[in-house]
């Protein structure tokens, strides 16, 4: 079947039609640093994805008819800049050559920033690559977990990379993993971002994934929820007052989910088959949470659905629909729908966090969804109630219903990524 055109292989009768919105590509599993909380098991492997794999993958993706109007191609799951610039020039050209006119492609890197130089910045500018830089805050916080392979802190090299991006006019956001120390100091975190002219911030609370167990997850869930809510409330309010930090992902991506057009369902691409297509450097394919790529589990094996170098996308999709993985993720999504008042916001949670926190994909609430979905929702409603009360107290005639984002704006929001 592998030589048969994909268009000749329709999806399984009665199955949900896939809509591929994000392709997470691992150009190499290798990472030049050694973070203590990293969940990737194979980060010493220097193998680089073959260009033939890129060609095969996007030939299948674009021929499938399953593409969203915009596909985000996220180069991740290792340090993407450990692969050479020449790799990306060829890969980007291949993807552009194969791309149908009805589909737009946006490339994005999640990087530790230590390898950024002027040559990389030229590539980013030429190809309009979105950049996320992982930096956990001030030196004393960042260097506690983000170290070189010889055990030294990476703060100076990461900061130099960010300044190179700024010098070359390359826009970027930062991704900070929050620990006990940073949760205790929202003002210090904000002062750091403002001091370094960082205006777009994303937070990941330190998680338990793979073999890594976060010390934060020893905290009772209700207490952790209270601590994160206090941090985010203070950070958000002070950021708005400063006028310097203009985007806080946890808030700014929650707003359109909450105030979307009536009747528009909450879409969670981590819970739909092939909506998020994850491909490692050897062509192995998984779906759902990208963190599953490269992991193993006694109940689900390696989470793989096939290999794009030998399987068609239709075969991979059929394998997905027949898998225990999809059966249990779907059961977990339905359980969330029936039990959780926040389901209309998140659409079913993060499967990988359900597995590693609760031991099963079929469960519901996790600390991760409490922090990333419930807390931001509560804070936005809290702020909206306060604003509405101010309007009523001042002049009831000035109350105007909140405007909703367009369907395109809501659909373009990408999920939380590490």
Per-residue model confidence as pLDDT tens for the chain (418 residues): 333 333 334 444 445 689 999 999 999 999 999 998 887 777 889 999 999 999 999 999 999 999 999 999 999 989 999 999 999 999 999 999 999 999 999 999 999 999 999 999 999 999 999 999 999 999 999 999 999 999 999 999 999 999 999 999 999 999 999 999 999 999 999 999 999 999 999 999 987 555 555 677 677 889 999 999 999 999 999 999 999 999 999 999 999 888 888 778 778 999 999 999 999 999 999 999 998 988 888 989 999 999 999 999 999 999 999 999 999 999 999 999 999 999 999 999 999 999 988 999 999 999 999 999 999 999 999 998 887 666 556 554 443 444 443 333 333 334 444 3
Nearest-angstrom CA–CA distance, 22 and 338: 27
Tell which residue, 85, 77, 86, has the closest CA to residue 38: 77
CB 60 within 8 A of CB 10: no
- Domain limits, CATH 3.20.20.70, in the chain: 16-268
Q: How many other C-beta atoms can be found within 10 angstroms of the C-beta atom of residue 76? A: 22
Q: Tell me the backbone φ, ψ of residue 414, rounded to 5 degrees.
A: -90, 155
State the pLDDT at residue 310: 98
User: Per the structure block, which two tokens stand in for 378?
Assistant: 């509560």
Cβ contact 178:204 at 8 Å: yes
Q: Residue 34 burial (CB < 10 Å; 0-12/13-18/19+)?
A: middle
Q: pTM for the whole thing? A: 0.87
Helix (H, G, I), strand (E, B) or coil at 360: coil
What CA–CA distance (Å, rounded) separates 183 from 132? 21
Is residue 90 exposed (0-12), middle (13-18) or buried (19+ Cβ within 10 Å)? middle
Rounded Cα gap, residues 109 and 129, in angstroms: 7
d(CA 214, CA 291): 16
Task: Determine how β-strand 104-111 pairs with β-strand 67-75.
Answer: parallel
In angstroms, rounded to a whole number, what is the distance separating the alpha carbons of residues 27 and 333?
31
- Helices 186-195 and 221-242: crossing angle in degrees, nearest 10, is 40
Could you please state the CATH topology (level 3) that the domain comprising 16-268 is classified under.
TIM Barrel (3.20.20)
pLDDT at position 143 is: 97
Indicate the SS3 state at residue 141.
Answer: helix
- Check the CA dihedral 80-367-286-298 and report its sign: positive
Encode 389-403: b = buried (16+ Cβ within 10 Å), e = exposed.
eeeeeeeeeeeeeee
């Amino acid at each position: 079947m592998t030589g048969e055109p994909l268009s000749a292989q329709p999806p399984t009768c009665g199955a949900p039609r896939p809509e591929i919105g994000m392709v997470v590509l691992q150009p190499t599993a290798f990472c030049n640093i050694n973070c203590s909380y990293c969940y990737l098991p194979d980060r010493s492997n220097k193998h680089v994805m073959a260009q033939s794999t890129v060609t095969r993958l996007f030939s299948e993706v674009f021929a499938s008819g399953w593409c969203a109007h915009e596909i985000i191609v996220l180069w991740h799951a290792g340090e993407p800049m450990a692969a050479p610039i020449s790799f990306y020039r060829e890969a980007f050209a291949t993807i552009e050559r194969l791309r149908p006119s009805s589909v737009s492609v946006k490339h994005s890197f999640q990087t530790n920033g230590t390898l950024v130089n002027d040559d990389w910045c030229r590539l980013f500018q030429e190809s309009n690559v979105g950049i996320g830089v992982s930096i956990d805050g001030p030196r004393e916080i960042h260097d506690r977990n983000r170290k070189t392979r010889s055990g030294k802190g990476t703060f100076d090299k990461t900061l130099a990379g960010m300044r190179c991006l700024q010098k070359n006019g390359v826009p970027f956001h930062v991704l900070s993993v929050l620990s006990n120390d940073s949760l205790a100091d929202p003002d210090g975190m904000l002062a750091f971002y403002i001091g370094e002219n960082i205006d777009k911030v994303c937070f990941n609370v330190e998680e338990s994934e793979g073999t890594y167990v976060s010390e934060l997850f020893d905290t009772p869930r209700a207490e952790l929820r209270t601590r994160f809510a206090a941090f985010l409330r203070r950070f958000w309010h002070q950021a708005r007052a400063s006028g310097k930090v203009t985007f806080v992902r946890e808030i700014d991506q929650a707003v359109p989910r909450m105030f979307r057009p009536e009747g528009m369902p909450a879409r969670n691409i981590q819970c739909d088959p092939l909506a998020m297509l994850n491909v490692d450097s050897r062509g192995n394919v998984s779906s759902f949470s990208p963190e599953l790529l490269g992991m193993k589990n006694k109940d689900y094996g390696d989470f793989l659905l096939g290999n794009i170098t030998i399987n068609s996308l239709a075969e991979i999709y059929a394998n997905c629909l027949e898998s225990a993985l999809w059966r249990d993720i779907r059961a977990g999504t339905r359980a969330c729908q029936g039990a959780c008042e926040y389901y209309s916001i998140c659409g079913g949670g993060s499967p990988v966090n359900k597995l590693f926190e609760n031991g099963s994909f079929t469960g519901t609430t996790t600390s991760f969804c409490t922090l990333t979905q419930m807390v931001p929702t509560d804070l936005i409603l809290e702020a909206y109630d306060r604003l509405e009360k101010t309007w009523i107290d001042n002049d009831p005639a000035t109350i105007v219903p909140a405007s909703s984002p367009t369907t395109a704006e809501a659909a373009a929001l990408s999920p939380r990524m590490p």
